[in-house]
Chains A and B, each alone.
Chain A
Amino acid sequence: MLQISDVRKTFFPRTPNEVRALQGVSATIPKGTWLSVIGTNGSGKSSLLNAVAGSFIVDSGAIRINDQEVTKLPEHRRARWIGRVFQDPFSGTAPTMTIAENMALAVRRGKVRGLGLALSTAQRRDFRDRVAAMGLGLEDRLDNPIGTLSGGQRQSLTLLMAVLKKPDLLLLDEHTAALDPKSADQVISLTKQFIERDSLTTLMVTHSMQQAASLGDQLIMMDQGRIIHTLEGDAKTRAMPADLLAKFEAVRQSKQLDRSAAEVLQSQYV
């Protein structure tokens, strides 16, 4: 369903600020599978998601969605396959527009937008039902600007909008990181509900070991632009947050060893 093969990306190449964000990442997400990505800050996990979404074009490698080569396609032309939720709850919705208008925008994701009226009565009723089903009590506020809602409410609506037209691939970019614990739980339970209902193919980047261990079918761990560990099947089901933390600790220690070893070598030979 999603195939990423040997993708590389360097930001600001040949400058002091050079960042090798992705250094040959390959991964495959079969249809209906939920893949979680964890990693430290700067490990390249968000870059991986942005590369798939088309926020930037990769230097080399290939990305295929639904057996379609999308490596060179700009972001807006990949949107027909991709539903997306950002980390910042304010990024996913248009604040001065109403809930209903935002949903009308989302329901035409990747389609031609013509001169037909954006909101029909039938569509409003459908939107109302879907918002009511989320159980946030927002169904009577369809005509309120989304900017008047809380971060958690906006993120829930962004999620609803991302799955409104069933996406071939759902991208979740640390989508609970900026929320208070209660809202985060709410958004996570909605996420589970939507993904299971439509058996969506999902790529979720997360900062939370808890989420990484308890959610999803597969797990990859990234560090310095590379995948350093993959867990699937039984191993994934059995994984506990503590195991993942231990893995990270091991990586950190091996890096420290490298650095001190490098210093020793430098003092001796340079």
Chain B
Amino acid sequence: MSKVIDHAPLYLLSSEHMPPTDGRLIGARFQWFGSDSESRYQAAPHPVFKPDDVSYHFNAQGYRCPEFAQDKIDKELTVVAIGASEVLGTGLPEDQVFGHLFARRLENHLQRPIKYFNLGMGGASADYVSRTLASALPVLKPDIVLLVFPYYGRREHINSLGKVFLFNSQDAGVRLKNRFIDPENHSQIKAHVTLSSDYNDQMNFYKNYLFCEMLCERQQVSWLYSATRVAFFKHIQHLINPKQLVSRCLGDLKSKYQDEPSIGLGRDLVHPGSAPHKEVADDFFENFNRLYADKFGIY
């Protein structure tokens, strides 16, 4: 077997390096990203967000956050959030994404500096969440971890050359396009479709959740988790830790604002907007307060 663990460029399961996300994002700055594209905006402009209102700045490892290698300030706390595009904040300015809002609210409340690292990645899966957490804990040494589990039918696959493929069982349309544009991706997707089943999805989802729960408990970090939709946890209710669950989820809250796309949706008119993100940030804060007030001297 070739040596793949803790090796450049992927730094899989490294306890010294954060794994890079996507090579195209390293140090990049974009005005448009993913589903938040210029062509989509021109076809259906957001009522509030203009082209210059949202930009995406990625650090040297391809995450939408500050560089990791920064000295810790006295009494500073570190918060990381891991998940998919909702966590990354597709369609929103950085300072309106729930993780950022949570960090700022906590900063005001504790009167302590808070450093926030957004480890969201578009299209990511529970596989990505657990893999990233495995490195984030020893490398970034966060005090607080916020996890948002994406759709359970998603998977991550890394081929023998270290190329990462993201699979989403809901994405039937992309599959046909990929057959001609990206045949290698297409064969991976075909294999995933063959192996996709409710059993496998639920097992994989639970295993990743359990892996994350165990790592957080072992590291004794303060942690909370949610999902794009709370229904993802429906079948594993008896297995998950209810105390840490933030049950009002970004995807579910979108429907609350379906008549107000200006605040219900991001600039791409697909992802959750500023209002769901603010509500989720508040929920994360309330849950955090409930569980960890004593630990952090919150009164």
Q: Do these two chains interact? A: no
